[in-house]
Amino acid sequence: MTSTAARIDAPVPSSATPSDVPSAESIAATAEAYAHTHRDVSGGWLRPAVFGAMDGLVSNFALMAGVVGGDVGHQAIVLTGLAGLAAGAFSMAAGEYTSVASQRELVQAELEIERLELRRNPGEELAELAQLYVERGVEPRLAFEVAQQLTADPERALEVHAREELGIDPEDLPSPLLAAVSSFAAFSIGALLPLLPYLLGATSLLPALGLAVVGLFGCGAVVSKVTARSWWFSGLRQLALGTAAAGITFALGHLIGAHIG
């Protein structure tokens, strides 16, 4: 800590003059005029929703295709589809809730550690934050002044340290309930697509295959909205993976069904 403080306190000449520094109003106006948005890269509700729908569609269609390949009756196919939908949806919701809740609890535990450190060792934490800015190219004296201003308020100090040291926003932690509900609803919708024709009286796999193809391509195309891939590439990729899974499961069901029969 001594060497850190020495580096921070060392005077560094600056060629800037007061006239070169824009006012707070000018900075705010420029930032507002330039304001642009980014896509949400943290996941949020989109990740469990999209992947829940894909999982439901692929897994239930593959499951039903395997049963159809085993040459069973209409009632058994419908029962299999409904069971697959219910089991998968509840499993996805429970798993997503547990995963996100565990992640949130870990973050909160780390925040509590940082809060205690700020209370017990404010000087060392101030130097640590200032050094982070120095390592990013800020002049030592300015880095120390910025760190002082940012950590003047205890809650803001915790937020700044959490962002800089842990890479998280304490005010924007993921919600386990939202993730679970999104996963449950999305999986159910995806799993319902291949089942719907059988619920309406279909006796062939072809209508379910048609809906599954449309759903797979559609899910892939939606994913392209939050990636750099084109919609047709994402759609075709998901379609290929989903149909391959269903085809393999159908073949296995047909093979096992023939041996059992």
Contacts of residue 67, defined as CB under 8 A and 6 or more positions apart, other chains included, come to 76, 77, 80, 253
Q: Output the CA–CA distances (angstroms, integers) from residue 16 to 11, 21, 36, 216, in the order listed.
A: 15, 8, 29, 58
Confidence at residue 253, expressed as pLDDT on a 0 to 100 scale:
82
Farthest-apart Cα atoms in the chain, separation: 89
Beta-carbon contacts of residue 22 (< 8 Å; ≥ 6 apart): 30
Report the alpha-carbon distance of residue 193 to residue 128 in Å, rounded.
Answer: 54
| Number of domains making up the chain | 1
Please check whether residue 199 lies inside any domain of the structure.
yes
**Which pTM value belongs to this model?**
0.72
Query: Is residue 37 a part of any domain in this protein?
Result: no
* Dist CA 128 CA 150 (whole Å): 13
Range of the domain at 56: 44-260
Contact (Cβ atoms closer than 8 angstroms) between residue 129 and residue 90: no
**Residue 22 belongs to some domain of the structure:** no
Read off the pLDDT of residues 61-74 as tens digits, 9 standing for 90 and up: 989 988 988 888 99
Confidence at residue 31, expressed as pLDDT on a 0 to 100 scale: 60
Rounded Cα–Cα distance for residues 93 and 182 (Å): 8
pLDDT at 27: 58
- Low-confidence stretches of the chain (pLDDT < 70) are 1-24, 27-32, 34-48, 226, 258-259, 261
Does any domain span residue 39?
no
Residue 10 included in any domain: no
Listed in sequence order, the residues at least 6 apart from 66 whose beta carbon sits closer than 8 Å to its beta carbon are 249, 250, 252, 253
